Each structure stands twice: as structure tokens, then as C-alpha cells.
Amino acid sequence: MRLEKTKKITTLLLKWIFICILIGIFSGSASAFFLVALEWVTQTRDNNNWIIWLLPIGGLAIGLGYYYWGESVVKGNNLLLKEYENPQQIIPFKMAPLVLFGTLITHLFGGSAGREGTAVQMGGAIADQFTKLFQLDVSERKTILILGISAGFASIFGTPLAGALFALEVVFFSKINLKSILLSFFVAYIAYFTVELWQVQHTHYAIPFVPSITFITLFWVVLVSILFGLVAMLFSRSTHFWGRLFSKTISFPPLRPFVGGCFIALAVYFIGTTKYIGLGVPMIIEAFSSPNASYDFLLKILFTGFTLGAGFKGGEVTPLFFVGATLGSALSLVVPLPIALLAGMGFVAVFSGATHTPIACTVMGMEIFGVESGIFIGLACCIAYFTSGSVGIYNAQIVKGAKYHLYQKLKRRNTDFL
């Protein structure tokens, strides 16, 4: 009897190790290809600025592709979260190529978007194919979706610890078992090392100086962190606003990115700069050493919300990095903290507020910038999380816990007052 139980446990363990290895390798390889392709399309656009005028055509191609072939996967990250909370059917594999090429087209022709959404969707679509192959039940399928999110996030940013935590935290208020937690970390490292084996490089950032913790520095940290949270709220609500506006005013979905592309191309022409389109990585790097203009973060919010709301593809996280880093950099002109520290705090704090994932963002900050800045990063992420409101970038995300109860109390008090 004991021998049979041991064999069963061993078989189960080997099965999940094998699944994690497959998901990690396939998702990591997909992210590696995506990163290389994204670098190529970005350089192509930078060397041929006229190509931005083709953005409406690119948008129409994306719109038609999803209208005729991708209606079942058009919800993207929200579909992954919905399937985790209420499993219905296996996510079609076509989600991966559709979002991959949709994102590349978006960046090639000048849309403002990120890359995390693409990697997470590819990871989720790849992972969910093993549900049928291994005949997994509902509980095991939830684990599979967590593994896909973890592998995609860890591989695209080169942050395995944050990737594993993000996958767990973004679905935190649904049921998670210990198996999912352990496997999430395992698959994150498999995906991360797969990208390393492909010799694909990630962007590096640094905070060279971290001040001592005093009452004065803590005061400024709290103050700027509240601003980061409010800006995260603005980013989330902006993206949802443009999405609703396009849906209400243009009934035929493929025309939405076409019309949106026309406006974006004209906007880039009239403002005379391309620094607010694409990923914006050069601007993020610059923010750590040179103060940004006070309006840079606002224009990135506008361009990104408009791009994604119109129906172009990509993620929100790298634009969130841009918004947070440039806001922190601009604040360095009035806040007596090192510019790199402010940019680094904003980098992860705005992301924390917009995704309701303060733990993952804190760990990510320490993975990217070093543990020396950990206390500042942690405070910024937690404060931004509590001050960013109850609406994040993912409509399907369940928001409960201390933050949820806080806002419910505030709503009741306002109702009673009125």
C-alpha cells in the first residue's frame, strides 16, 4: 500500500516536472524570438520614420485578423484571468501567433504599447495546450494557467522571482494551492534560463546611490508614492476610457485600429517627436540620469491608452515603466532624493498600482536595481497599491483583501454622508 502511494506521488511529481520543462522551454523560446523580432521592428521604424504613416493599414490588418480568426481570444490577458476563475474551455493556440504578430505590427508602424501582455498570452496559450494532452482536471488546469503566466512574464523581463510572484499575485484572491506556488517558481526559472541560452539580452537599469533612511527621506518617499498610485489610477482609467469610446463610436471592430492609427500618425507628425511611441526604452534609460519634462509621463499615458483602446496589440507594463520612471525623474527637480532612486521607485510603483501586485513589483525592483534599494522600492509599491483605486488595467482581475475592504468602507461612508 505504501509502495503504491510512493509510486503514485513519484509519477505525479515527474509529470509536473516534465510539464514545467516543456512550458518553460516553449514559452522562453517564444519570448526570445519575440524580443529579437521586437528589436528588429523597432530599429526599422526608427530608421524609417515615414513608416508611421502606414500605422492605419497595420491597424486594419490587426483588426481584420482578430475579427475573422481571433474573436475567441481578443480579450487577451483578461481571457486568461477569466478562465482561471471560471474554467470553461481550453484557450486556443492561435492566441499566441495572433498576439505575437499583432504586437510586432503595432510596434513596427508606431503604436505605443508594451510587451508583457504578448509574452503572458503566448505563455498562457502554450501552457493550456497541455491540459488536453495530459487530460488535466479543473484544478490542474488552474495550475497550468499560472505556469503559463509565470513563464511568459519571467522570460520577457528576465526576472524569474517577480514572474513567479506576479502569476500568483494577479490571481491571488482565487484559490491557490501549494503545488501551484512551487511549480510557478520552477517554470519561471526554466523560461528565464531558456532565454539566456538563446543569448537574448534584457535591458539593464541601475540605482547607483541609495540614501540613508531618515524621517525626511521617508516623508518624501510617502509623498511621491501617493503620486505614483494616483498616476497608476489615471493610466488604468485612461486605457478603459479609450476602449469604451472606440467601442461605442465605431461598430465595426477592424475600423477601430484603422481610425486610431490615423490619429496617432497625425499626432506624432504634429508634435514632431517619436519618443512617446513604441516601448520607449531609450527614454526610460535616460530618466535615471537626466530629469524629464513634467508632461512626458502624461503624453505616454495618452498615447498608450489611445493605442490599446483602439485595438492595437501589446502590453501595458513597459509603458507603465516609462510613465513611472519619467514621473520620478521629473519629480527630482523638486524632491531632494537621487534621480535614479526616484525613477526606479516610479518604475515599479506605478506598475504595482495598475496591476494590484505590490509583492511581485517589490521583488522585481530588487531583482532589477539591487536589494540595497529594497526598503524604498517596497514602500513605494505598497503605498502606490493602496492609493491607485480599485480599478486596474485588467478588467477580469479580482481585487479583494485590505485594499478592497478599505474602498468599500469609504464608499459606505460617502453614501451615508450624502
Question: Mind listing the pLDDT tens digit for each residue in 356-406?
Answer: 999 999 999 999 999 999 999 999 999 999 999 988 999 888 776 556 555
What is the distance between the alpha carbons of residues 69 and 98, in angstroms, rounded to a whole number? 9
Res. 410: pLDDT tops 60: no
Residue 413 in any domain: the answer is: no
pLDDT digits (tens, 9 = 90+) for 77-90: 999 999 998 888 99
Residue 53 in any domain: the answer is: yes
Cα atoms found within 13 Å of the Cα of residue 286, Cβ hemisphere only = 13
Same domain flag for 64 and 118: yes
With vertex at residue 262, the alpha carbon angle to CA 251 and CA 53, rounded to the nearest 5 degrees, is 140
CA 219 to chain CA mean position, Å = 29
Same domain flag for 305 and 378: yes
Same domain flag for 221 and 303: yes
Domain termination site, one of 197, 227, 243: 197
Those residues with Cβ within 8 angstroms of residue 307's Cβ, 6 or more apart along the chain or in another chain: 106, 111, 112, 113, 260, 264, 314
- What pLDDT, on the 0 to 100 scale, is given for residue 417? 47
Helix (H) or strand (E) holding 101: helix 95-109
Residue 38 in any domain: the answer is: yes
Average pLDDT taken over every residue of the chain = 93
What is the distance between the alpha carbons of residues 348 and 360, in angstroms, rounded to a whole number? 9
- What pLDDT, on the 0 to 100 scale, is given for residue 27? 98
The whole-number average pLDDT for the span 45-49 is 96
Same domain flag for 256 and 121: no
Cα atoms found within 13 Å of the Cα of residue 182, Cβ hemisphere only = 6
Question: What's the whole-model pTM score?
Answer: 0.94
- What pLDDT, on the 0 to 100 scale, is given for residue 171? 87
Same domain flag for 119 and 221: no
- 156: closest CA among 318, 374, 392, 397? 318
Residue 377: give its domain's CATH number.
1.10.3080.10
- What pLDDT, on the 0 to 100 scale, is given for residue 7? 82
CA 75 to chain CA mean position, Å = 15
Same domain flag for 154 and 227: no
SS3 118: helix
The whole-number average pLDDT for the span 280-308 is 97
Spatial contact of 159 and 317, defined as CB atoms under 8 Å apart: no
Same domain flag for 135 and 235: no
Residue 154 in any domain: the answer is: yes
Total structural domains within the chain: 2
Q: What Rg value do the Cα atoms of the chain yield, rounded?
A: 21
Backbone angles phi, psi at 344, to 5 degrees: -65, -40
Provide the Cα torsion 374, 377, 380, 383; round to 10°: -50
Res. 418: pLDDT tops 70: no
Per DSSP, which regions of 10-108 are E strands? Answer: none
C-alpha cell at 222: 510617502
Same domain flag for 26 and 102: yes
The whole-number average pLDDT for the span 186-190 is 98
Domain termination site, one of 169, 197, 225: 197
Residue 177 in any domain: the answer is: yes
The whole-number average pLDDT for the span 138-154 is 95
Same domain flag for 153 and 242: no
- What pLDDT, on the 0 to 100 scale, is given for residue 404? 57
The whole-number average pLDDT for the span 170-189 is 86
Residue 418 in any domain: the answer is: no
pLDDT digits (tens, 9 = 90+) for 50-79: 999 999 999 999 999 999 999 999 999 999
Residue 377 in any domain: the answer is: yes
Q: Which residue has the cell 476602449?
A: 243
Spell 209-219 as b/e; 16+ CB within 10 A means b: ebeeeeeebee
Of 175-179, 255-259, 392-396, give the lowest mean pLDDT range: 175-179
Residue 4's CB is within 10 A of a number of other CB atoms, namely: 8
Same domain flag for 395 and 328: yes
Percent of the chain with pLDDT strictly greater than 70: 94
Same domain flag for 127 and 13: yes
Residue 410 in any domain: the answer is: no
Supply the angle between the helices 215-249 and 339-355 in degrees, to the nearest 10.
Answer: 50
pLDDT digits (tens, 9 = 90+) for 221-239: 999 999 999 999 999 999 9
Residue 415's CB is within 10 A of a number of other CB atoms, namely: 8
Domain termination site, one of 168, 197, 226: 197
Same domain flag for 339 and 192: no
The DSSP-derived string for 215-237 is HHHHHHHHHHHHHHHHHHHHHHH
User: Burial of 150 by CB count in 10 Å (0-12 exposed, 13-18 middle, 19+ buried)?
Assistant: buried
pLDDT digits (tens, 9 = 90+) for 18-31: 999 999 999 999 99
- What pLDDT, on the 0 to 100 scale, is given for residue 8? 83
CA 246 to chain CA mean position, Å = 22
For residue 319, give its domain range. 215-405
SS3 366: helix
- Give the type of residue at 280: G
